[in-house]
Amino acid sequence: MKYNPNEIEEKWQKYWAKNQTFAASNNSEKPKHYVLDMFPYPSGAGLHVGHPLGYIASDVYSRFKRHQGFNVLHPMGYDSFGLPAEQYAIQTGQRPEDTTRVNIDGGLDKEGKQIAGYRKQLDKIGFSFDWAREVRTSNPDYYKHTQWIFIQLFNSWYNKETNRAEDISTLTAIFEKEGNANVNAVSDDNIQSFSSGEWKAFSADEQEKILLQYRLTYLAETEVNWCPGLGTVLANDEIVNGVSERGGYPVIRKKMTQWSMRISAYAERLLQGLNDIDWSESIKESQRNWIGKSVGAMVSFNVKNHDEVIDVFTTRPDTIFGVTFMTLAPEHDLVAKIVTADQKNAVDAYIEKTAKRSERERMADVKTISGVFTGAYAEHPFTKEPIPVWIGDYVLAGYGTGAVMAVPCGDERDYAFANFFKGQNGMPEIKNIFDKDISEAAFGAKEGFQLVDSDFLNGLDYKTGTQKVIAALEKIEQGKGKTNYRLRDAVFSRQRYWGEPFPVYYVNGLPKMIAAEHLPVILPEVEKYLPTEDGLPPLGNATIWAWDTKNNEVVNTDLVDNFEIFPLELNTMPGWAGSSWYWMRYMDAHNEDRFASKEALAYWESVDLYIGGSEHATGHLLYSRFWNKFLKDKGFAPTEEPFKKLINQGMILGTSAFVYRIEGTNSFVSKNKIGDHKVQPIHADVSMVNSSDELDVQKFKAWREDYADAEFILDDNGKYIVGREVEKMSKSKYNVVTPDDICAEYGADTLRLYEMFLGPLEQAKPWNTAGISGVFGFLKKLWRLYFDENNGLIVNNDEPTKDNLKSLHKTIKKVGEDIESFSFNTSVSQFMICVNELSTQNCHSRAILEPLAILVSPYAPHIAEELWSQLGNKDSISTVAFPVFDAKHLVETNKEYPVSFNGKMRFTIELPLDLTAAQIEEIIMKDERTQKQLDGRTPNKVIIVPGKIINLVG
């Protein structure tokens, strides 16, 4: 009976689906364990072999926990709204809802091309997902709850006194009673103070405008990353090197009225929460840096000849007497107000230029120095001396106050800026306030100095100087101590079509929420998916997109009368909206009334293990933690943190193939024949190249029309050898290997084992299809322990030998420890060692092979199920108890001693370890090999160390 993976895998995948083998219960006496993968967004490209790496790892762990007796929730769904899905639809001239559905379920696209579909691809790999809980963020029954969460955020404010979000009604109650003078809230800056009487006298619209300054989601004019090519606002983590990650389009800074989320309210809790979760230190550090907590002072500098004030946050208030100039962000509101007439042209030109650079690019570029003097001067709060005000793109409007008090003697970037513009109009000599030499570089340390030329701070150090200057600033009312965060409120609007509609309509230009009982507000159909000609988002093209407040339904936009029927919000929510709470929906995926029942939330609590890519460190993971904390504040989530343990899988890289075209010709030269030729490397599809790096020339010529008449300079053996290079696996590099092809040729169990065998889970590693045959060979060798090709099942009931038990229990110990520590690659190595040993031992004992099938099951579940069934077991192997390690089987009872004569080893002998030295000597002296070596002589000394050495001297 031969090993036939395709037949076995199809059989067991049908069995699992029919029997709901991996369905998790929300009411189980077993302990729970929740294992989650970062769900994919369905693109037209489908899965390549790099995508399943994390899924296989989480599946191994999930199956292992079931063997340990846990009720395991291991769900899967699709992050199906957002930019990737929409861009694919636009590029292929299709509707996003159609392409998304086909990309998930499979089928024919608009051009008649067969799309495999994520679901079918995932099923072929044999994952133990509870598919009954599948979610799709673009389904109305899902985004109904996303809209509901948005409404909860809108109807909440952050109370600094209680350090949590509260209902907006508690805030209005305070306003009614005493005004806002004593309200300690996270809110907009510069809110006007009002009394109880004034609040009551405000109109409803005036009150609503004030409340918008406190709500956790609010409308405000914001500096955003605008991408004209994509027609939408992008988050910082969606921009790479100044262009959009999706499509590579230029990104500029632009002011727009946007919905924003007050994530900044949770900055300290997001920071402190990192101490309570089991995440890698690198991810925690990324989040700490993004949150960017700093302790210092807020200082106000009056602008000479203006009523304006420049507020600056600084972590070094002790250096205030070293302020040489000030720098504003080019987009700072004050620039236009204070710039002088003679500097206006230069300033305007500079602002236009810097608008084309993203914030991320400006932050990363520490080498380029640029700026312009505004012609204006600020006033030093103590000396009253004039301080020139510059603009420079190393200062960002959204970080701190968008202004810097530049102290070149103590800051390298200020030092470089001052020296770059040295001698120019508006750049004075650097003031040195340290008893240190700064002729070559700034002195940035916070210790080992005394302040000089610093008035009342002379002779003080950093700590004492900081305390004294803050007190002095507070006394003259030009500053105060302050803790600041780099984390800014998150822009929550996208000028795109394929996203969650906001449950918002507008009355007198002010946002109103649609009542929860009327959700979902369903995304309307439109003909065009790009922004309208007048710049409105795509929903501006919708003909039925107005809210009838009398009948509580969406109606034709022509009916808007601003009396009963009002315009709806045209923006949609960003891609991270649906992914910021999805793990809770899996807990109770079909609940129509709530995003999850209290009982389900109380049972599952939070995710025990989360596996996904590190690229989400400061985007998805930060937003998810924010929403989870908010929902906890409002009594909807059971825990403060959503993910207890996080593991980032490394990337599987592709091994690209290159052909070499001789410049200016259509001739291709084999790698070994390049010589002095000037060549252009060109990617070739890896499917045309065999494991020996030989190109199928005829396939290559048929691949593209312009290669049909190409000529080839071959090696002497008539072969064309390609070059190889390890790169990111990508369709554009033609180095994609699909799991479907691997499963068809070798089986899913081979794919699963091979991906785990490639190397440590968290490291990047190159894919090499040539290596997969070795893993396939291992599975065939495992099969032969149970089956003979001619005689069928050959498992017997023989008593296992000590060596059999030793091989098994070494594997039980190793595999159990490896899975718990996520060292999956070394488990696969141990399986290979074990099977080799059992094969050498000619072991076919049921007592060994039954537990071996269970050990293999998490990694290669199909073959394990088949072996388990063929051994006569009726139920699935998936919940059978994991074998128990017994240390006694690894205790060595014998020792193979090297026997030496005058220090030279002549032979070995295996003896029991419990023999005394005298007993060992007696056995050795009677051994024929000893007598032959001695040749009648009597040794002068016999040195025996039990368990170690035997040496006869003389």
Distance CA 534, CA 427 (A): 44
Burial 35-56 (b: 16+ CB within 10 A, else e): bbbbbbbbbbebbbbbbbbbbb
How confident is the model at residue 90, as a pLDDT?
Answer: 80
The Cα-based distances of 765 to 645, 690, 726, 727, 814 in angstroms read 23, 20, 9, 10, 23
**HEC secondary structure over 585-634:** HHCCCCCCCCCCCHHHHHHHCCEEEEEECHHHCCCHHHHHHHHHHHHHHC
Say if residue 254's pLDDT is above 80. no
> pLDDT class for 660, splitting at 50, 70, 90?
very high
How confident is the model at residue 257, as a pLDDT?
Answer: 87
| CA dihedral sign, ordered 911, 912, 917, 920 | negative
Rounded to an integer, the average pLDDT of 777-801 is 95
Q: Which helix (H) or strand (E) element contains residue 91? A: helix 83-92
Burial 198-216 (b: 16+ CB within 10 A, else e): ebeeeeeeeebebbbbbbb
How confident is the model at residue 232, as a pLDDT?
Answer: 74
Token pair in block for residue 807: 């091989």
Distance CA 362, CA 359 (A): 5
Nearest-CA neighbor of 791 among 841, 844, 831? 844
CB 347 within 8 A of CB 340: no
| Report for 274-278, 358-362, 366-370: range of highest mean pLDDT | 274-278
832-860 tens-digit pLDDT: 999 999 999 999 999 999 999 999 999 99
Minimum mean pLDDT range among 40-44, 97-101, 319-323, 448-452: 40-44
> pLDDT class for 470, splitting at 50, 70, 90?
very high
CB 687 within 8 A of CB 696: no
How confident is the model at residue 535, as a pLDDT?
Answer: 64
Nearest-CA neighbor of 757 among 835, 818, 848? 818
Rounded to an integer, the average pLDDT of 126-131 is 98
Minimum mean pLDDT range among 83-97, 356-370, 457-471: 356-370
9-29 tens-digit pLDDT: 999 999 999 999 999 999 999
What angle is formed at CA 916 by the lines to CA 915 and CA 918, rounded to 5 degrees?
Answer: 120
pTM (2 decimals)? 0.86
Say if residue 44's pLDDT is above 80. no
Distance CA 424, CA 90 (A): 51
Distance CA 53, CA 55 (A): 5
Distance CA 33, CA 43 (A): 30
Q: Measure the CA dihedral 669/674/680/682, to 10°.
A: 50
595-619 tens-digit pLDDT: 999 999 999 999 999 999 888 888 8
Residues present in the chain in total: 954
Nearest-CA neighbor of 583 among 20, 11, 58, 45? 58
Rounded to an integer, the average pLDDT of 570-581 is 95
How confident is the model at residue 534, as a pLDDT?
Answer: 61
**Amino acid identity at 578:** G
How confident is the model at residue 237, as a pLDDT?
Answer: 63
Say if residue 455's pLDDT is above 90. yes
Say if residue 400's pLDDT is above 90. no
How confident is the model at residue 91, as a pLDDT?
Answer: 79
Say if residue 358's pLDDT is above 90. no
Three-state DSSP at 672 gives helix
Helices 824-840 and 748-757 pack at an angle, to 10 degrees, of 110
Rounded to an integer, the average pLDDT of 632-658 is 96
CB atoms within 10 A of CB 795: 20
138-193 tens-digit pLDDT: 999 999 999 999 999 999 999 999 999 999 999 999 999 999 999 999 999 889 99
Say if residue 242's pLDDT is above 80. no
Rounded to an integer, the average pLDDT of 202-220 is 96
Say if residue 280's pLDDT is above 80. yes
| CA dihedral sign, ordered 477, 481, 485, 490 | negative
Give the DSSP letter of residue 449: -
Say if residue 296's pLDDT is above 70. yes
How confident is the model at residue 529, as a pLDDT?
Answer: 81
Token pair in block for residue 709: 């008449």
How confident is the model at residue 411, as a pLDDT?
Answer: 95
Rounded to an integer, the average pLDDT of 569-576 is 94
Rounded to an integer, the average pLDDT of 265-271 is 97
Strand extents, DSSP E, 596-737: 607-612, 643-648, 652-662, 667-669, 679-684, 711-713, 723-728
Minimum mean pLDDT range among 322-326, 399-403, 589-593, 900-904: 399-403
Q: Which residue has the tokens 């803790």?
A: 483
CB atoms within 10 A of CB 532: 16
Higher pLDDT, 359 or 840: 840
Rounded to an integer, the average pLDDT of 501-505 is 98
Higher pLDDT, 805 or 936: 805
Token pair in block for residue 366: 């520490």
The Cα-based distances of 788 to 1, 2, 289, 781, 832 in angstroms read 6, 8, 60, 11, 19
Token pair in block for residue 559: 């009916």
**Amino acid identity at 731:** K
Q: What is the average pLDDT score of the chain?
A: 93
Distance CA 443, CA 449 (A): 9
Burial 166-180 (b: 16+ CB within 10 A, else e): bebeebbebbeeebb
How confident is the model at residue 533, as a pLDDT?
Answer: 59
Residue 227: what are its φ and ψ, rounded to 5°?
A: -110, 100
420-441 tens-digit pLDDT: 999 999 999 999 999 999 999 9
